[in-house]
Amino acid sequence: MDMAKALLGRITGAVVASGVLLALTGCGGGEEGGTAKDGGAAVIAPGRPGEQARTLSPSEAAGRKPDDSPNAADRAYVQHMVEHHRQALTMSALAPERASADGVKRLAERISAAQQPEIGAMEKWLALHPAPAGSASGAPAGHDHGAMPGMATGQQLARLAQARGAEFDRLFLTLMTAHHEGAVKMAGEVLAAGNNGAVEEMANEVVATQTAEVHRMRAMG
């Protein structure tokens, strides 16, 4: 699945969840040929196994839709993951001129191709879900970008920028493995504490793709 496209779809589309409420306008099967009690379009709520479906008004159906409003954990995750991804792009941009192994070059290319559009999707999400009034950000106090799991230090980045050939390959794989493991840890934290469906989808994609890349990098090392 293309995570950036899926996330954009979740951001811009209507989310229908847990019970999957299906709007049927002018269709049979509901009260009075598909109309609700108030004469409006019928919304069919599937019943439990063995139970009949119920016809709801649009307002009743909206009330049954679970609240997935972003919370502080969601906003903090997206804000921090933008910075996390940007560092991965910085590291990957060094590979074409400095790496010696074709596998490392291809890995860096895949990381750049995947994470650049993901940054764009996350920035769109942040624009659509600004922090509440009176809050500087959705991030928990005391959590600075340098403390994010897996982030390379300035000294480590400088060493990577100076390295060439096999030395670059080794250092890149070491730093990027730690970087991916940090991203997976962050994703696990928001899956436990977050509330927004689009962020949950993004975090699940990070867990799946970056765990697979960690295994690949360990095999390359």
* Token pair listed for 191: 């899956």
**Do the beta carbons of residue 34 and residue 28 sit within 8 Å?**
yes
**Inside any domain, residue 116:** yes
**Inside any domain, residue 4:** no
What is d(CA 117, CA 1) in angstroms, rounded to the nearest whole number? 13
Q: Do both 102 and 31 map to the same domain? A: no
Q: Do both 132 and 209 map to the same domain? A: yes
pTM of the predicted structure, to 2 decimals: 0.70
Confidence band for 153, pLDDT divided at 50, 70 and 90: very high
Q: What is the CATH number of the domain that holds 116?
A: 1.20.1260.10
The domain in which residue 30 lies consists of: 20-64
Q: Which of 11, 29, 64 is the last residue of a domain?
A: 64
Name the H helices within the chain: 3-12, 58-64, 72-92, 95-98, 102-128, 154-162, 165-193, 197-220
Q: Do both 160 and 93 map to the same domain? A: yes
Buried b (16+ CB within 10 A) or exposed e, 141-170: eeeeeeebebbbeeeebeebeebeeeebbe
Segment holding 54, helix H or strand E: strand 54-56
87-101 average pLDDT score: 98
Give me the pLDDT at residue 15, please.
Answer: 38
pLDDT tens digits for range 171-185: 999 999 999 999 999
Q: For the ranges 132-141, 147-156, 178-187, which has the lowest average pLDDT?
A: 132-141
pLDDT tens digits for range 155-175: 999 999 999 999 999 999 999
**Inside any domain, residue 10:** no
